[in-house]
Amino acid sequence: MDENKSGKTDLAEIMLKTETVLLKQLMKEVQGLTNHLTDIDNGLEHDRHNIQNLTVNVSTLSEEVNQMRKAVNLTSEKVKDKVADVVSPIVESTDRMTTEIHDKEVIGMKDDKRSFWDKFWGNPAKKVK
């Protein structure tokens, strides 16, 4: 019976050693998975931090773009007003001159196409066909 008992003891020791080796291997695998998950979590935390910074930067840029738009609109209004101030007297003067020209009686002069010598000697103008 000692043999049998000794055989069972050896078998139990072998099974215990095998279980110990398997448990150690399993623990290594679990630790590896835990480390991998920790790395993923750290990466996600870093990404969240970067996204928050990006959101702040985009908000800042958006505000700056709005301020630039306001400045451009204000500048364009100022330029429009300055041009209107400069052009207004010119337009009024042109309108006034146009009205004066229409109101005046215009006398047309006939263009004399005689040469100097014809005019000098008093020769009549040539008729054009």
pTM above 0.75, yes or no: no
Task: Report if residue 84 sits inside a domain.
Answer: yes
- How far is residue 5 from each of residues 8, 9, 10, 12, 18, measured CA to CA in Å? 5, 6, 9, 10, 19
pLDDT for residue 29 is more than 90: yes
Task: Report if residue 19 sits inside a domain.
Answer: yes
The stretch 69-88 carries a mean pLDDT of 92
Task: Report if residue 90 sits inside a domain.
Answer: yes
Task: Report if residue 62 sits inside a domain.
Answer: yes
Domain count for the chain: 1
Average pLDDT taken over every residue of the chain: 86
Task: Report if residue 125 sits inside a domain.
Answer: no
Task: Report if residue 126 sits inside a domain.
Answer: no
Task: Report if residue 127 sits inside a domain.
Answer: no
Q: Which residue has the tokens 């990466």?
A: 43
Confidence of residue 52 (pLDDT cuts 50, 70, 90): very high
Q: Which residues span the domain enclosing 57?
A: 2-100
Confidence of residue 71 (pLDDT cuts 50, 70, 90): very high
